[in-house]
Chain A
Amino acid sequence: MVPHSAIILFLIPVVAVFLLGVDSAFAQQSTHNYIIHRIEIWALFYRLMVVAFVIGAVVMGSIAYVVWRFRESHPKNRGDITPARAGGAQH
């Protein structure tokens, strides 16, 4: 039985990537001449970069928050108690 956490971890990036991927796959078909082709590709590049930076900001922000909040030296984290110590199996 696959746990829900694994399914969720899989579905989030699948949906995100294929929303982007389908769009860019057909970018070439809509071009009629070289100039428009170049413009469309750069437009696609900037759109993709905007999406990448938004997702990047969320993921990097999450990493920065986790590193700051759950570090050993954080005031709320100085005791010996490890919050999630009780649950789950150690592999």
Chain B
Amino acid sequence: MVLEVKQPRPMWEILFSTHHTDIGLLYVYLSVTALIIGGALAMAIRVELFVPGPGTLIPDSNTFHRIFTVHGTNMLFLWLIPFASGIGNYLIPIMVRYKDMAWPKLNAVAFWMIPVGAALVWLGFADTTWNAYPPYSIIRAPGPAAEMWIFGLKILGISSVLGAINFVVTILKMKHPDLPLMKTSLFVWSTLVTSIMIIVAIPTFAAALIMLYTDRLGVSGFFNPAMGGDPIAYQHLFWFTFHPEVYIFLIPAVGMLYEIIPKFSRKPIFSYQSGVAAFVLLALVGFASWAHHMYSTGMSFTEKTVFMVGTLAAVPASAMHVFNWIATMWGGRIKFAAPMSWGVGGIVLFFYAGAGGIVNTAMPLDFLTHDSYWVVGHFHLFVAGMVTMAFIGFIHYMFPFITGRMYNERAAMVSFWLFFAGLSIVFLTQHILGLYGQPRRVYDYVPVQPLIIMNQIASVGGWMAGVGAAVFIYNMITSAFKGKPAKMNDPFAIGEQYYDYARREPHH
């Protein structure tokens, strides 16, 4: 089997390559595979919740917990982060005009750690939830699944940090001397900011994972109340990493939209400087808002106010991006090919998610929505709505560069509308479900009519999105082998120079 089209090469040559586009290809393949299997788990969850009562598809609550734990872990750490790394691998050396990443072998090592971490997560199939909150995760969660989850996350974290160091050094030290940082693409800025955030955020969780593991072994009691430990301390360590991590998911998607929107609007970016400023602001406030996930843990009014204001500070930065995109499109001549359609759909869902997020942020209101389906809807509008739609849009944009062929535009638009409509239905309905009081992470729910109807609407929406994703995958696979050869100078006929195709040829 060959993966290349213009210059076919055997698969083993790509697997053992250290060239940045080969590593990028491996990242993209792995992450899209994770999207498919994580999506299949989501479909199973929606089948189970279609009617109240146990056993619709999933036999017991423990299996249900395992499924949504692996769904969450898989989507966040095996789809979103590796995909952003894959596109970064493809484009960062090209955009900073360097021959490769700064350390190509380290780059390959960082990638090959991911399948190992993924295997641990998948084979363990833990039931801790992706938060792994103690005391459950240290006292009751069955082993060795929980241990495998801990080690899997540990390996994935190290991989992320190695990749991030490589990106930072490539951008800051290997950039062409004639290319000022303020003249690089906003995608370069997004990767730089994300990488710095990873380097700052991940070590805290890495420490928490070790503490969690030693607590499980019984040799320490950091988070075990029976040994004088404090489970809330774990939540602080966890969210100090994982609130910034939300922006680590988001910012690469924003950077990709800054590539797509000006090109398909046939206009320069409205304000490059505000895009850079908003990236930096988002990175800063991302570290000033972690405890808004913990309002119900008994924090003081003053603490909650500080974190509420810190969280609200993210809204102007996010809104700056949205206004920047609208202003860029204004007055342009927009070609709604698949990348642009997926991108604009992502912006719409980003706005929905942000509006719901303000309710979570306001601490009195957070008590209404905390741990309810509102939070599920809100979070998924971000990661499945905004980030995944932007990523899929960018896969379409990169498709000619990756394969040398064009995808089927009609199938791409069908998949877009199914996915966009399905996501809107499932996740907006889940907001209302939350207001009706349905807790998140439940295997069963009270069999009353409003909950049944809304769960069924949500399930139908979820399946619609699933069908859309299936059409997208089918389109990508068939087009990779049978698509029309792309005109590599300007495959989308938008009058813009496309990425330099010759850069895909390995030179070492």
Q: Which residues of A contact B (CB under 8 A)?
A: 2-3, 5-6, 9-10, 12-14, 16-18, 20-21, 24-25, 27-29, 40-42, 44-45, 48-49, 52, 55-56, 59-60, 62-63, 66-67, 70-72, 77, 82-85, 87-91
B123 beta carbon closer than 8 Å to chain A:
no
Contacts A63-B348, A71-B336, A77-B333; A48 near B358 (Cβ below 8 A): yes
Q: Are the C-beta atoms of A17 and B364 separated by less than 8 Å?
A: no
Q: How far is the CA of A25 from the CA of B272 in the complex (A)?
A: 33
Contacts A20-B358, A45-B359; A83 near B351 (Cβ below 8 A): no
Q: Are the C-beta atoms of B332 and A82 separated by less than 8 Å?
A: yes
Closest CB in chain B relative to A31 CB, distance in Å? 9
Q: Are the C-beta atoms of B333 and A56 separated by less than 8 Å?
A: no
- Which of B278, B301, B362 gathers the greatest number of chain A CB atoms within 10 Å? B362
Q: How far is the CA of A60 from the CA of B184 in the complex (A)?
A: 30
Say which residue of B272, B344, B347, B365 sits within 8 Å of A24 (CB atoms).
Answer: B365
Q: How far is the CA of A29 from the CA of B300 in the complex (A)?
A: 12
- B144-152, B305-313, B442-450: which lies at the interface: B305-313
12 example contacts (A-B, Cβ-Cβ < 8 A) are as follows: A13-B318, A14-B316, A21-B362, A41-B364, A44-B362, A48-B362, A56-B351, A66-B330, A67-B334, A72-B334, A77-B333, A85-B266
Q: Are the C-beta atoms of A44 and B365 separated by less than 8 Å?
A: yes
B185 beta carbon closer than 8 Å to chain A:
yes
Considering only CB atoms, which chain A residue lies closest to B274 in the complex?
Answer: A6
Taking CB atoms, residues of chain B closer than 8 Å to A45 are 359, 365, 368
- B27-35, B134-142, B234-242, B321-329: which lies at the interface: B321-329
B271 beta carbon closer than 8 Å to chain A:
yes
Taking CB atoms, residues of chain B closer than 8 Å to A67 are 329, 334, 336, 344
Q: How far is the CA of A71 from the CA of B315 in the complex (A)?
A: 28
Taking CB atoms, residues of chain B closer than 8 Å to A5 are 270-271, 274, 327
Contacts A17-B312, A41-B368, A66-B330; A12 near B323 (Cβ below 8 A): yes
Taking CB atoms, residues of chain A closer than 8 Å to B318 are 13
Q: Are the C-beta atoms of A91 and B268 separated by less than 8 Å?
A: yes
Q: Are the C-beta atoms of B186 and A91 separated by less than 8 Å?
A: yes
Q: Are the C-beta atoms of B308 and A25 separated by less than 8 Å?
A: yes
Considering only CB atoms, which chain A residue lies closest to B189 in the complex?
Answer: A91
Q: How far is the CA of A17 from the CA of B365 in the complex (A)?
A: 15
Q: Are the C-beta atoms of B351 and A59 separated by less than 8 Å?
A: yes
Q: Are the C-beta atoms of A82 and B266 separated by less than 8 Å?
A: yes
Taking CB atoms, residues of chain B closer than 8 Å to A71 are 334, 336
Q: How far is the CA of A89 from the CA of B332 in the complex (A)?
A: 15
Q: How far is the CA of A71 from the CA of B273 in the complex (A)?
A: 26
Closest CB in chain A relative to B337 CB, distance in Å? 9
Contacts A25-B305, A60-B351, A77-B333; A48 near B316 (Cβ below 8 A): no
Q: Are the C-beta atoms of A9 and B334 separated by less than 8 Å?
A: no
Count how many pairs of residues, one from A and one from B, have CB atoms less than 8 Å apart in the complex: 153
Count of residues in B whose CB is under 8 Å from the partner chain: 57
B25 beta carbon closer than 8 Å to chain A:
no
Say which residue of A12, A24, A56 sits within 8 Å of B362 (CB atoms).
Answer: A24
Taking CB atoms, residues of chain A closer than 8 Å to B336 are 67, 71-72
Contacts A25-B309, A70-B329, A91-B268; A56 near B355 (Cβ below 8 A): yes
Interface residues of A, dominant DSSP = helix
Q: Are the C-beta atoms of A70 and B308 separated by less than 8 Å?
A: no
Q: How far is the CA of A21 from the CA of B364 in the complex (A)?
A: 11
Q: Are the C-beta atoms of A82 and B333 separated by less than 8 Å?
A: yes
Taking CB atoms, residues of chain B closer than 8 Å to A89 are 268, 272
Closest CB in chain B relative to A4 CB, distance in Å? 9
Q: How far is the CA of A10 from the CA of B318 in the complex (A)?
A: 10
Q: Are the C-beta atoms of A21 and B266 separated by less than 8 Å?
A: no
B128 beta carbon closer than 8 Å to chain A:
no
Considering only CB atoms, which chain A residue lies closest to B269 in the complex?
Answer: A91
Closest 3 CB pairs of A and B: A13-B319, A6-B274, A88-B268
Closest CB in chain A relative to B64 CB, distance in Å? 30
Contacts A13-B316, A21-B312, A62-B326; A84 near B271 (Cβ below 8 A): no
Task: Please give 15 more A-B residue pairs, beta carbons under 8 A apart, in addition to A29-B301, A42-B368, A66-B329.
Answer: A3-B271, A10-B277, A13-B320, A16-B319, A25-B363, A40-B364, A41-B368, A44-B364, A48-B365, A52-B358, A63-B347, A67-B336, A70-B333, A72-B336, A88-B268
Taking CB atoms, residues of chain B closer than 8 Å to A18 are 312
Closest CB in chain A relative to B461 CB, distance in Å? 19
Contacts A24-B362, A52-B358; A91 near B183 (Cβ below 8 A): yes
Taking CB atoms, residues of chain A closer than 8 Å to B327 are 5, 9
Q: How far is the CA of A24 from the CA of B351 in the complex (A)?
A: 21
Taking CB atoms, residues of chain B closer than 8 Å to A85 are 266-267
Taking CB atoms, residues of chain A closer than 8 Å to B323 are 9, 12-13
Q: Are the C-beta atoms of A10 and B316 separated by less than 8 Å?
A: yes
Q: Are the C-beta atoms of A17 and B315 separated by less than 8 Å?
A: yes
A-contact 0/1 string along B347-360, CB 8 Å cutoff: 11001100100110
